Amino acid sequence: MRNVAILGGGPAGLTAAIYAARANLAPLVIEGAAAGGQLMLTTAVENYPGFEEGILGPELMQAMRKQAERVGAEFVTEDVETVDFRRRPFAITTTSGQQVEARAVIVATGASAKLLGLPGERRLMGRGVSTCATCDGFFFRNRRVIVAGGGDSAMEEALYLGNLAESVTVVHRRDELRASKIMQQRAFAHPKISFLWNTVIDDILGNGVVTGVRLRNVKTDETTERPVDGVFVAIGHVPNTAIFAGQLELDAQGYVVLHERSRTSVEGVFAAGDVHDHTYRQAVTAAGYGCMAAIDAERWLQSQGE
C-alpha cells in the first residue's frame, strides 16, 4: 500500500516524485518500460533553465531520476497494464503482473508524437529528425528544413522555424491543409515557407545526420531526392491514456480533463504534464505541472486524514 503512486517517468512524473518524496509520502514511480519520456528522443536541450550550456535530453532525465531516488522515491521500470480507479485504495497492475495499491495516484503518462514510421526516422531521431521545433529549431538556424503534416501543429512548427531556418518546406499528403484558416494564412504569407502538395516522405536519408529526404508525389508516384538538414515531423500527438478509458474523463482527443487545478474526474487521482496539456508541451511546463500535482495530492491526502 502506497500513499502515492506516480504513473510515468518523464519530467512531470519525476518532478511529482521529488516533491512527494520530500513531503514524506514515499512515492512509487511506475516509470514505464521506456522510462524518461519524450526527452529521451532529443539531443541537446537548451531551454530548460539552470543549464547554461544546455544539457542532453537523456542526461537531464537521468539527473531528475537520480534526484528523485536520492530523496526517497522508488521505481518500477515497467508499463502499467491496468488501473482500477473505481475502488479505494486505487489498484494498479504492471505488465509483469505486479499489484500496487495507492491512496492517491498522479497520472503523468505523457503523450507521444505520431511518427511517419520510416526506417530513417528512428535512426536519425535527434540527429536532424525532430518532433518539436520549439525544442530543436535553434539548431537549424540558416539551414534547410522540411515539416511533415498539414494541421495546426505543422503550421505552428513551420512558422516557428520560419524565423530561424534558411528555408522551410511543408510536405503535405493532400492538396489542402487541415490547419485553421488563420494559421494557413500566416504560413502562406511567410516569405521563407513553401509547400509541396500531394507529397509524402518515403524515407529520410543520412548517415549519422540527416542529409536529405526521398519524396514521392502520391498522384504521379514520381520520387525525387531533396537535400535538407532537418525534418520536423508534425503529424499530431497521441496522449498515452488508453488504459484510463472509461475510468477518467478524457476529451475528444483523449487528453485527461482537469477539473480543479490538477484534479481529474476521480477524487484522489491527479494528472500532470502532456497527458492533459496539449498547449505548451514543454519539459519545463510538464515539470511545473508535476510539482502542482504532488502538492495537490499531499493536501488532498491530508484532508482525508491520511
Query: Catalytic residue numbers?
Result: 132, 135-136
Residue 235 or 266 with smaller CB distance to ligand NAP: 235
Q: Which of 127, 178, 186, 263 forms a contact with ligand NAP (CB under 6 A)?
A: 178
C-alpha cell of residue 22: 520530500
Cell numbers 526521398: residue: 214
Q: Choose the stretch contacting ligand NAP; rule: CB under 6 A; options: 4-12, 84-92, 203-211, 230-238.
A: 230-238
DSSP structure class, residue 209: S
Q: Does 150 bind ligand NAP (CB under 6 A)?
A: yes
Judged by CB under 6 A, the stretch of 26-34, 67-75, 143-151, 263-271 that binds ligand NAP is 143-151
Residue 197 phi/psi, 5° resolution?
A: -90, 160
Which 8-state DSSP code applies to residue 174? S
Dihedral of CA atoms 192, 197, 203, 207 in degrees, nearest 10, equals -20
Q: How many residues bind ligand NAP (CB under 6 A)?
A: 18
The length of the chain is 306
Considering beta carbons, is residue 13 or 150 the nearer one to ligand NAP? 150
User: Which of 151, 254 has the CB closer to ligand NAP?
Assistant: 151
Closer residue to ligand NAP, CB minimum distance, 175 or 222? 175
Window of 118-126, 135-143, 151-159, 160-168 that interacts with ligand NAP by CB under 6 A = 151-159
- From first CA to last CA, the distance across the chain in angstroms is 12
Phi then psi dihedrals of residue 299, to 5 deg = -65, -35
Closest separation in Å from C-beta 177 to ligand NAP: 7
Q: What mask of x and - would describe binding to ligand NAP in positions 96 to 135, judged by CB under 6 A?
A: --------------------x-------------------
- Binding residue for ligand NAP, selected from 58, 72, 236, 254, defined by CB under 6 A: 236
Distance from C-alpha of 306 to C-alpha of 303, rounded to nearest angstrom: 7
**Taking Cα atoms as reference points, which of 143, 204, 148, 192 lies closest to residue 174?**
148
One-letter identity of residue 12: A
**Is residue 152 close enough to count as binding ligand NAP by CB under 6 A?**
yes
Burial of 271 (0-12, 13-18, 19+ CB in 10 A): buried
Where on the chain is the footprint of ligand NAP (CB under 6 A)?
Answer: 116, 148-154, 156, 173-174, 178, 180, 200, 235-237, 278
